[in-house]
């Protein structure tokens, strides 16, 4: 399947985004120079408690910072820009140039304000058709439709041939606040000969064509047309196009719009300042002013469509919001699909709202959320337009990458011209073929937890999982240095295991056993192997607690000699 090619050429290294959703980052290396495409993070898995984000592992760049000629960003979603504050300090040097569209730049710089220890960033603005030369690479940016404005695909001329990176995209002939897909331009790229197509795979398992934003607008319009009370519309703060739609429709029906949620407010503010969200004067009002308006003149645009506990909509649903209380006659719109893993919290959210006699509209009932990603028909169209020599599915779970490979197969791209890769692969590309090196670069998770980047690893995570499951059990024993015998009664400290107050017998018996183990071991006199003895206490207490409760708390013996 993989042709062995020996000539020197181009190295492509995906550091994230393959076999996962998010954490998109890819390196291109030629003539000793490195170009970085995107720097995203991803959200942690459910079994990673306490972790905030996962960022790409850039240890393969150690000592090579000077070779990095630039970082280019496709668009302003966090899975493409979110790792900047965590990674950039490690690779930054004065020759490193960054390029992004005005909106993407605005979002990166706004976020950077949260990281007060970092200097402000200098980012070069690009637009449709911009061409930049970065070492051996020439990058041309081309507009692609998505659910955020100012999204760009990359046409990269390299010493071995042209590479197209589609960025996240969909084909939309009736987009919001944006021009329709420019198929002529795409055709032109195809004619210039594409050596490698790196293609978004997120929608590769979905049949047909993605919905146009226009269709969504029609459905949202229907809800707003009928609404006789307030409308609470929740979506992601990053879905700028959806936000625009709700603003426009509110204006159509004479509604003022209140913004609720920190990220919603800052994003709308930024987008309005840059002209990416358009609204009439007076459309936006403060929430407290909404209380003086008739209900059918108010739209509340807020975060929390995923049922996040701390986000606005959940606080409104739980009647904990400082301004808004739901009442019969209100309508709630959840205008985002449910992210895998959030099904239960969304259900809780829906139920809390329904219990108050309020109607809930969600994407399962009608199309009020369009994915931002090309589906099977569009992906095939893209492959046809680009007619690449080689095909590399990017962005998505392995099943999505594999589905995209099948689509390429349908379009005549034979199996040996496709590579379904993994993060950390080192792919050597020449004009004639590609090969994958036997050794991968490190691509394992780098976890962000609070201020720590990468300091929480497998061991700490496993401890957290164990602590979560059965809690902890600390036994503190004071031992007389002279006699080796336990002084007094051992202290027991436990959390997350049992109610201590209701488990007095269990604790009494545990203490007795601990005293027995230690006194027995020290009885003979002579040197005591405390490390061994602690293990003994740990094992025997653990076993005893398991027999009595079928639970396995982390048992920690502390021995103090006095």
The site map against its own copies for 345-374 (x = CB under 8 A) is: --x--xx--xx----x---x----------
Report the candidate in 456, 537, 471 with the shortest Cα–Cα distance to residue 49: 456
**DSSP assignment of 248-282:** HHHHHTT-EEEEESHHHHHHHHHHHHHTSS---TT
From 6-14, 285-293, 517-525, 548-556, span contacting its own copies (CB under 8 A): 548-556
Tell me the HSE value of 325 on the side-chain side, using a 13 A CA sphere.
2
The site map against its own copies for 282-321 (x = CB under 8 A) is: ----------------------------------------
Q: Which of 77, 321, 373, 395 is catalytic?
A: 373
Separation between Cα atoms, residue 284 and residue 107, nearest integer Å: 21
Q: Binding residue for its own copies (CB under 8 A) from 29, 217, 330, 449?
A: 449
From 86-94, 123-131, 287-295, 337-345, span contacting its own copies (CB under 8 A): 337-345
From 120-128, 241-249, 387-395, 446-454, span contacting its own copies (CB under 8 A): 446-454
The least distance separating its own copies from the CB of residue 117, rounded to whole angstroms, comes to 13
Q: Binding residue for its own copies (CB under 8 A) from 341, 412, 442, 516?
A: 341
Regarding 503 and contact with its own copies (CB under 8 A), the answer is yes
Regarding 473 and contact with its own copies (CB under 8 A), the answer is no
Cα dihedral 103/149/331/358 (nearest 10): -80
Separation between Cα atoms, residue 171 and residue 210, nearest integer Å: 8
Q: Binding residue for its own copies (CB under 8 A) from 329, 409, 496, 542?
A: 496
The least distance separating its own copies from the CB of residue 408, rounded to whole angstroms, comes to 16
**Cβ-Cβ contacts under 8 Å for 170 (sequence gap 6 or more):** 145, 146, 203, 210, 371, 372, 373, 374, 375, 378
Nearer to its own copies, 194 or 403 (CB): 403
Q: Binding residue for its own copies (CB under 8 A) from 183, 457, 539, 543?
A: 457
Separation between Cα atoms, residue 113 and residue 285, nearest integer Å: 26
Question: Residues touching its own copies: how many (CB under 8 A)?
Answer: 63
Residues 182-211 that bind its own copies (CB under 8 A): 205
Between strands 452-453 and 446-449, the pairing is antiparallel
The least distance separating its own copies from the CB of residue 46, rounded to whole angstroms, comes to 6
Regarding 450 and contact with its own copies (CB under 8 A), the answer is yes
Cα dihedral 319/349/339/144 (nearest 10): -60
Regarding 502 and contact with its own copies (CB under 8 A), the answer is yes
Tell me the HSE value of 493 on the side-chain side, using a 13 A CA sphere.
6
From 287-295, 411-419, 459-467, 511-519, span contacting its own copies (CB under 8 A): 459-467
Q: Binding residue for its own copies (CB under 8 A) from 109, 285, 460, 521?
A: 460
Regarding 323 and contact with its own copies (CB under 8 A), the answer is no
Nearer to its own copies, 175 or 396 (CB): 396
Confirm if 109 and 82 have CB atoms less than 8 A apart: no
Regarding 540 and contact with its own copies (CB under 8 A), the answer is no
Regarding 49 and contact with its own copies (CB under 8 A), the answer is yes
Residue 3 has a CB neighbour count (10 Å cut-off) of 11
Nearer to its own copies, 251 or 422 (CB): 422
Is position 209 annotated as part of the catalytic site?
no
Separation between Cα atoms, residue 517 and residue 559, nearest integer Å: 12
Nearer to its own copies, 459 or 524 (CB): 459
Confirm if 421 and 2 have CB atoms less than 8 A apart: no
Confirm if 205 and 306 have CB atoms less than 8 A apart: no
Confirm if 428 and 437 have CB atoms less than 8 A apart: yes
Regarding 2 and contact with its own copies (CB under 8 A), the answer is no
Residues 27-46 that bind its own copies (CB under 8 A): 45-46
From 76-84, 121-129, 171-179, 492-500, span contacting its own copies (CB under 8 A): 492-500
**554 in helix, strand or coil?**
strand
Please provide the size of the chain in residues. 562
Hey, which residues does 54 pair with through a beta bridge?
42, 447
Regarding 440 and contact with its own copies (CB under 8 A), the answer is no
Q: Which of 79, 178, 200, 330 is catalytic?
A: 200
Regarding 89 and contact with its own copies (CB under 8 A), the answer is no
Confirm if 527 and 546 have CB atoms less than 8 A apart: no
Q: Binding residue for its own copies (CB under 8 A) from 6, 451, 482, 531?
A: 451
Q: Binding residue for its own copies (CB under 8 A) from 5, 109, 132, 476?
A: 476
Residue 255 exposed, middle or buried by CB count within 10 Å (0-12, 13-18, 19+): buried
**535 in helix, strand or coil?**
helix
Is position 373 annotated as part of the catalytic site?
yes
Regarding 469 and contact with its own copies (CB under 8 A), the answer is yes
**DSSP assignment of 502-524:** G-HHHHHHHHHHHHHHHHHHHHT
Confirm if 61 and 34 have CB atoms less than 8 A apart: yes
Both structure tokens of 353: 């709202």
Nearer to its own copies, 435 or 549 (CB): 549
The least distance separating its own copies from the CB of residue 468, rounded to whole angstroms, comes to 3
Between strands 231-234 and 298-302, the pairing is parallel
Q: So which residues are the catalytic ones?
A: 200, 373
Binding region for its own copies (CB under 8 A): 19, 45-46, 49-50, 205, 340-341, 343-344, 347, 350-351, 354-355, 360, 364, 397-399, 402, 449-452, 455-457, 459-461, 463-472, 474, 476, 478, 487, 491, 493, 495-499, 502-503, 548-551, 554, 556, 558, 560, 562
């Amino acid at each position: 399947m993989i042709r062995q090619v020996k000539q020197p050429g181009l190295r492509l290294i995906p550091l994230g985004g393959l076999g996962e959703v998010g954490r998109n980052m890819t390196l291109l290396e030629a003539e000793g120079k490195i170009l970085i495409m995107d720097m995203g993070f991803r959200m942690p898995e459910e079994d990673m408690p306490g972790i905030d984000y996962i960022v790409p592992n850039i240890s393969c760049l150690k000592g090579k910072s000077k070779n990095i000629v630039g970082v280019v960003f496709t668009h302003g979603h966090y899975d493409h820009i979110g790792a900047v504050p965590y990674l950039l300090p490690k690779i930054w040097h004065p020759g490193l140039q960054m390029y992004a569209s005005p909106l993407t730049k605005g979002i990166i710089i706004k976020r950077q304000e949260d990281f007060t220890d970092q200097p402000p960033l200098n980012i070069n603005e690009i637009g449709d058709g911009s061409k930049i030369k970065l070492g051996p690479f020439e990058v041309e940016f081309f507009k692609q439709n998505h659910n955020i404005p100012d999204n760009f695909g990359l046409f990269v001329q390299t010493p071995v041939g042209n590479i197209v990176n589609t960025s996240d995209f969909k084909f939309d002939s009736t987009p919001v606040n944006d021009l329709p897909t420019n198929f002529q331009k795409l055709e032109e790229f195809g004619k210039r000969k594409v050596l490698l197509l790196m293609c978004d795979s997120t929608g590769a398992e979905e049949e047909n064509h993605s919905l146009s934003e226009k269709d969504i607008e029609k459905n949202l319009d229907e809800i707003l047309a009928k609404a006789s009370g307030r409308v609470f519309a929740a979506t992601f703060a990053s879905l700028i196009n959806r936000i625009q739609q709700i603003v426009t429709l509110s204006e159509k029906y004479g509604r003022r719009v209140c913004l609720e949620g920190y990220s919603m407010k800052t994003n709308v503010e930024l987008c309005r300042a840059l002209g990416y969200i358009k609204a009439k004067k007076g459309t936006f009002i403060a929430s407290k002013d909404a209380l003086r308006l008739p209900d059918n003149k108010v739209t509340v645009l807020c975060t929390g469509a995923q049922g996040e506990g701390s986000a606005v909509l959940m606080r409104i649903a739980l009647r904990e919001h400082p301004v808004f209380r739901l009442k019969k006659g209100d309508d709630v719109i959840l205008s985002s699909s449910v992210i895998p893993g959030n099904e239960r919290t969304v259900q809780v959210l829906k139920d809390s709202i329904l219990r108050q006699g309020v109607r809930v509209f969600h994407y399962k009932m009608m199309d009020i959320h369009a994915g931002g990603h090309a589906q099977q028909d569009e992906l095939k169209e893209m492959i046809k337009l680009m007619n690449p020599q080689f095909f590399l599915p990017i962005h998505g779970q392995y099943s999505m990458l594999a589905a995209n490979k099948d689509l390429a197969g349908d379009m005549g791209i034979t199996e040996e011209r496709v590579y379904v890769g993994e993060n950390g692969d080192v792919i050597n590309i020449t004009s004639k073929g590609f090969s994958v090196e036997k050794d991968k670069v490190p691509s394992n998770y780098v976890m962000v937890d609070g201020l720590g980047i990468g300091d929480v690893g497998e061991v700490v995570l496993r401890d957290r999982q164990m602590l979560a499951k059965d809690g902890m059990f600390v036994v503190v024993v004071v031992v007389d240095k002279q006699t080796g015998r336990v002084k007094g009664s051992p202290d027991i400290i436990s959390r997350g295991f049992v109610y201590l107050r209701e488990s007095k017998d269990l604790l009494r018996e545990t203490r007795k056993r601990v005293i027995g183990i230690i006194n027995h071991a020290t009885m003979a006199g002579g040197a005591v192997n405390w490390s061994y003895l602690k293990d003994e206490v740990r094992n025997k207490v653990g076993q005893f607690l398991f027999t009595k409760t079928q639970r396995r708390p982390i048992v920690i013996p502390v021995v103090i000699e006095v």
